[in-house]
Structure 1
Amino acid sequence: MKNAVIITYGCQMNVNESAKIKKILQNMGYNITEEISEADAVFLNTCTVREGAATQIYGKLGELKAVREKRGTIIGITGCFAQEQGEDLAKKFPIIDIVMGNQNIGKIPTALEKIESGDFKHVIYTGEEDDLPPRLDADFDSKKTASIPITYGCNNFCTYCIVPYVRGRERSVPMGQILDEVKTFVEKGYKEIMLLGQNVNSYGNDLATGENFAILLEEICKIEGEFLVRFISPHPKDFADDVMDVIAKNEKIARCLHLPLQSGSTKILKLMNRKYTKEQYMELAAKIKRRVPGVSLTADIIVGFPNETEEDFLDTLDVVEKIGFESAYMFMYSPRKGTAAAIMDGQLDQEVKKERLQRLIDLQNRKSREASDTYKDKIERVLVEGPSRKNENVLTGRTSTNKVVLFAGDKELEGTFVNVKINDCKTWSLYGEIVNE
């Protein structure tokens, strides 16, 4: 049996596409392994959101050169970086056999057959990014969580982001296809369904059927079975009242909402082309908390965007302080070639960005601890993920609000929902015991 390795970089959409690549290769008779030294084929599923992505990928290709020389390993590059670089990637690195954009992974069997025939030096598939890719079965590493793309591409053109240029304009998947996939994964035993899109709450804007994100969520919740629905990422400018109402009345929808902030400064938000102000974001967060009791909010935040002053940064700290995110993904701005922000005047020194990022992290850590403390003595419904990586005698799971919980219990509970009373709270984890309530 031939061995294959899949290495994934980047976002949840790439994780989903890697799960599909895994299924394709398994159907072709490949054994999926993590041992590169034993691989007959290696696929790097790449990201291009950050400038440093290229360095990481080039470094991995350097590692693969020796394996290829020893075993004749077939090397394939898929994903956004492959879509962006195309044929130039194969020219720069002759060891690459296959370059394949994120819309084209269904052609992997054809590409492998061509390379194995010896008649082709390289196989390049990098179009058309405006087409909906075929719906493919997936084999997820987690037997509890399955993900489903509901849109592809993006129409927002935030000035720091390359995604619309490599994934194309936004296209919605027909609702019937999505519902069929949800049913299939629930029947397979998955307990958590993650809906994916660059901007999930603009789902349906390009469809002539009148379907929208609220309707999609409502229909998913009608599907029989015990499961939890999560989604990433919504855009604040499109977060409608009907979506809040659907979430509030359906316990199948997780009470954790990721609401990217990016900056707390209205001036910087305008430069980012985010299409909302500081005040509008804060009003939206307050409305969500009122209409969806028990909800937790998380965010993405960028510090050091071009022209960000100390006053602008203090606006960001003000939003974080007042909203109280349970957690946040925090980054220093890094220029991305091909985006409008990369050529803006007012680029900040690295040291200024580092100092601001640390201040933001310190504040968010305090807010995360405050949020954790609110769980003390509460009973939470938890999806059991399995034994803890640090202590196999303890189980780990997540609440509807996506909080990690550690507790004693039988390993056979993996993949089920249990009630856990929270006895102790740390910044990132809760500790409790299973109860029958």
Structure 2
Amino acid sequence: MNEEMMTSEERNASPSATAQDRGKGLFYVHTLGCQMNVHDSERIAGVLEADGYVPATQEQMDAQDVDLIVLNTCAVRENAAERMYGTVGLWYRIKQERPNLQIAVGGCMAQLDRERICRKAPWVSAVFGTKNIGDLPALLDQNRLTGEPQVKVNDNLTMFPSDLPVDRASKISNWVSISVGCNNTCTFCIVPTTRGKEHDRRPGDVLAEVQRCVDNGAKEVTLLGQNVNSYGYGIGDRFAFSKLLRACGSIEGLERVRFTSPHPAAFTDDVIAAMAETPNVMHQLHFPLQSGSDRVLRAMRRSYRTSKFLTILDKIRAAMPDAQISTDIIVGFPGETEEDFQATLDVVEQARFASAFTFIYSPRPGTPAAAMEQIDHDVVQERFERLVALQERITAENLATFEGRDVEVMITGSGRKDDNTHRVTGRERTGQLVHIGVPEGFDTPQVGDFVTATVTHAGRHNLIADPDPSAGQTFSIRH
């Protein structure tokens, strides 16, 4: 009987039969939060595999047949702690049935609440900070020996996570971190506390990692940082980021380069020029506004005002008319008046963002804004709904402009509904999600292929391309 045919009880009853397949144990990493957390989870997986652990299959996870579960946490939202304790509480039920199961908690909440986690969830085996990913295997070993929770949380960076082994979730689209930490002091943000001051990687190290990604089959990389366009400021080179973008343009086989997220205050003309002039740098930009009120921006300690923000947008669109620009907006920041909120609506209408990540303000303990006078929830909720309705309209109007146009899409797989519709899924060059129907008689594109197709319909948040070549519409595949 092979392992796939065994029940979880049979596997547990005969560990020697499957010990080689399980290594030091089957593990699963559950990720909450931003792209940086997603990339950190790839490093967590890489470190565990290098130590002899084996990633669990989806079937094994569904059957709760795992030996180690790692929760990589986020601390940005108010309910982050509730989500963390709720999740590890659910996992405790699994541990009651599988006493040898180890549970580890890492990431930003671990950096903040290290001692509280051990008090409230004593069944947790290991707690490790954002700068301690490489220490996880040793913490787990020590927990097995002592039965006591093991904690290691450093406040100072001694090693870039990028120097650790990695198990990338996608083979064709990779994350590459160019910096960690943040030097800004936004009053609503906990990131400088959890991630520390900004530290930049050497350009040569970044480019070497990008080259390794391409050598291993990646066709797209996304450069990551809490504030990518301040890259190099610490060493006095304010052009370092634009130089890095241009250097990526000379890497053979690298089809697409993206980056996230820049800070408007540091978005300079040389970066715009590098984006416009480097063929493999995509004209996609996440540009966080946060508020359209200068008074609120000042209270947030955002070091720009709306006039500067809109001036930069004008420059970007002059250089790249096809640029798709998304943003972040916080509704209900302490002290926000109806006049302030109307200013946000006015800027959103003028900026014409392709999409927006909109958030109701939630106080994070330890941030200056948490001590400010909060706004009534019903008032904030009503404003939030107005903003969402406005952005939904703008998004729909923007997507409609793609109808009838040919777009080049890098295939990443199938969407949730694509199996029923026989479509494949990917993103076109400016980042829009596209579902493509394969015309009868044509080969089905594979992951990593590039398909040029005519957009036939704009959905609410994506594009549909069901081209009919007999009617002159386009469908072609490039491997």
Residue identity matched to 1:430 = L
Number of residue pairs the alignment of both structures matches = 435
Q: Does the 8 Å CA contact 2:230/2:238 hold for their aligned counterparts?
A: no
**Residues 233-291 of structure 1: CA distance to partner in whole angstroms, max 9, x if unpaired?**
00000001000001001121111100000000000000000011111111111111111
Matches within 5 A, 1:24-423: 24-33=47-56, 34=58, 35=61, 37-71=64-98, 72-116=100-144, 118-119=145-146, 121-134=148-161, 135-207=163-235, 212-345=240-373, 347-392=374-419, 393-409=422-438, 410-423=443-456
Give SS of 2:104's match: strand
1:6 aligns with 2:29: yes
Structure 2 residue matching 1:107: 3-state secondary structure: helix
User: How far off is 1:50 after superposition?
Assistant: 1.0
Distance 1:184 1:94, change over 3 A: same
Letter in 2 for 1:25: L
Contact 1:376 1:425 in 2 (8 A): yes
CA deviation map 1:386-411 (0-9, x unaligned): 22221221111111111111112344
Q: Say if 1:258 and 1:298, in contact at 8 Å, map to a contact too.
A: yes
**Structure 1: distance between partners of 2:150 and 2:311:** 51
Instruction: Give the Cα separation in 2 of the matches to 1:130 and 1:29.
Output: 26
CA distance in 2, matches of 1:423, 1:169: 47
Using the alignment, how far apart are the partners of 1:306 and 1:23 within structure 2? Answer: 41
The answer to whether the Cα contact below 8 Å between 2:411 and 2:445 also exists between their aligned partners in 1 is no
CA-atom RMSD in angstroms:
1.6
The CA deviation at 1:142 is 2.3
Cα shift readout 1:189-217 (whole Å, capped 9, x = no counterpart): 11221111110000011126676110111
Q: Does 1:431 align with 2:460?
A: no
TM-score, reference length from structure 1: 0.96
1:297-347 per-position Cα deviation (integer Å, ceiling 9, x unaligned): 1000001111111111011001111111010000100111100001113x1
Q: Is the 8 A contact 1:192 1:228 kept in 2?
A: yes
Distance change in 2, residues 1:343/1:209 (3 Å):
closer
Contact 1:132 1:173 in 2 (8 A): no
Q: Is the 8 A contact 1:257 1:295 kept in 2?
A: yes
Distance 1:131 1:319 in 2: 42
Q: Which amino acid aligns with 1:417?
A: F
Rounded to whole Å, the distance in 1 between the matches of 2:362 and 2:238 is: 39
Structure 2 counterpart SS, 1:157: coil
Contact kept? 1:152, 1:172, Cα under 8 Å:
yes
Residues 261 and 301, structure 1, Cα contact 8 Å, conserved in 2:
yes
Contact 1:377 1:422 in 2 (8 A): yes
Kept after mapping to 2: 8 A contact 1:132/1:171: no
AA matched with 1:46 = T
Structure 2 counterpart of 1:6, one-letter code: V
Helix, strand or coil at the partner of 1:90: helix
Q: What is the Cα deviation at residue 364 of structure 1?
A: 0.3
Corresponding residue for residue 16 of structure 2:
none
Structure 1, unaligned stretches of length 5 or more?
none
Query: Do 1:248 and 1:293's aligned partners in 2 also have CA atoms closer than 8 Å?
Result: no
Structure 1 88/266 Cα, relative in aligned 2: closer, same or farther at 3 Å?
A: same
Structure 2: segments with no counterpart, 5+ residues:
1-21, 468-473
Answer whether contact 1:386 1:411 (CA < 8 A) is retained. Answer: no
SS at match of 2:389: helix
SS for the counterpart of 1:244 is: helix
Instruction: Give the deviation of 1:24 after TM superposition.
Output: 1.9
Rg comparison, structure with higher value = 2
Name the stretch that deviates more: 265-274 or 371-380: 371-380
User: Identity, % of aligned pairs?
Assistant: 39
The normalised TM-score by structure 2 is: 0.88
